[in-house]
């Protein structure tokens, strides 16, 4: 664990890594804010993905969370005090790092996913999800739009389903997420562990060169979309976060919590 300068207090990393038989297991570890995409979380996860991508001993990455919520989206407390254009650029870079990772990225979902966290899910290659997981693109209810995460969502999801989720902000189920193209498979309880292990064993059985080249083909258009639209969408996202309407919505939510 890292330590803060001048302090003897150990600081838990926000992203844990454990390598298990050619798979890098990355675990989101920020329960205090429900694994929200703070700048620190985004930076640590991007660095971990880039390190895994450069590790030629690996055949895959598994991204998961030990805590009840996989990812709550943007850190709304932080959003009231920092430049959200820069934060949005960081989320674009994080999603791109998932897509550009040289080896497949598998996501395991055991708990709720909201807003920006859904962008991580859409950027991954394979997503195994508990049937109990719920999703919501809640941005419109805060005066925002699903802007920077729209790049992978538009690449992976059915347009009608995406319009429904993005415009209503409603909860949707794991079954809807699967049928709309957001997740690969849904399972009950411990079957999630079994299905994830099956996927990882399949990746281990592959020749790494084949995995790398196959993934390049699959993500070529998505990476081009990040490079083409990323800056414009980050500017839009930041503008919306800093708007009077959004800031009032953040303050109202903080009073209710």
Q: Is residue 201 part of a domain?
A: no
Decide: helix, strand or coil at residue 127: strand
Domain membership of residue 224 (yes or no) is no
pLDDT digits (tens, 9 = 90+) for 23-44: 999 999 999 999 999 999 999 9
Query: Count of CB atoms within 10 A of residue 252's CB?
Result: 11
Q: Is residue 215 part of a domain?
A: no
Sheet holding 171-173, edge to edge: 113-114, 134-136, 171-173
Q: Whole-model pTM?
A: 0.94
**Residue tagged 């003897």 (tokens):** 8
76-90 tens-digit pLDDT = 989 889 999 999 999
Q: Which domain holds residue 70?
A: 10-190
The answer as to whether 118 is a domain residue is yes
Domains in the chain, number: 1
Alpha-carbon 120 to chain mean position:
2
Query: In angstroms, how far is the first alpha carbon of the chain from the final one?
Result: 31
Residue 257 lies in a domain: no
pLDDT digits (tens, 9 = 90+) for 146-201: 999 999 999 999 999 999 999 999 999 999 999 999 999 999 988 999 999 999 99
Residue 185 has a pLDDT of: 98
For residue 216, being part of any structural domain is answered with: no
Q: Name the β-bridge partners of 186.
A: 129
> Do 147 and 237 touch, CB atoms closer than 8 A?
yes
Chain Cα centroid distance, residue 38: 12
CATH number at residue 178: 3.90.226.10
Q: For residue 16, what is the enclosing H or E element?
A: strand 15-20
Mean pLDDT of 130-146: 97
In a domain, 5, yes or no: no
Task: Please indicate, yes or no, if residue 78 is contained in any of the structural domains.
Answer: yes
């Amino acid at each position: 664990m890292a330590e803060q300068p001048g302090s003897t207090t150990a600081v838990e990393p926000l992203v844990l890594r454990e390598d298990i038989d050619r798979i890098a297991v990355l675990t989101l570890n920020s329960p205090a804010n429900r694994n929200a995409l703070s700048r620190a979380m985004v930076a640590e996860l991007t660095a971990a993905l880039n390190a895994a991508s450069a590790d030629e001993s690996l055949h895959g990455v598994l991204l998961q969370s030990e805590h009840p919520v996989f990812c709550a989206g943007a850190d709304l407390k932080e959003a009231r005090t920092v430049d959200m254009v820069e934060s949005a650029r960081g989320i674009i870079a994080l999603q791109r790092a998932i897509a550009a990772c040289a080896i497949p990225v598998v996501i395991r979902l055991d708990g709720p996913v909201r807003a920006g966290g859904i962008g991580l899910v859409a950027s991954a290659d394979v997503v195994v999800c508990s049937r109990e997981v719920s999703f919501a693109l809640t941005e419109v209810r805060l005066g925002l739009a699903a802007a920077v995460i729209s790049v992978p969502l538009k690449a992976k999801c059915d347009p009608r389903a995406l319009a429904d989720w993005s415009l209503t902000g409603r909860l949707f189920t794991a079954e809807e997420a699967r049928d709309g193209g957001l997740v690969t498979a849904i399972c009950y309880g411990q079957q999630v562990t079994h299905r994830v292990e099956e996927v990882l064993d399949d990746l281990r059985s592959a020749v790494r060169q084949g995995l790398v080249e196959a993934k390049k083909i699959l993500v070529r258009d998505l990476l081009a979309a990040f490079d083409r639209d990323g800056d414009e969408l980050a500017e839009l996202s930041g503008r919306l976060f800093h708007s009077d309407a959004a800031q009032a919505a953040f303050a109202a939510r903080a009073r209710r919590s």
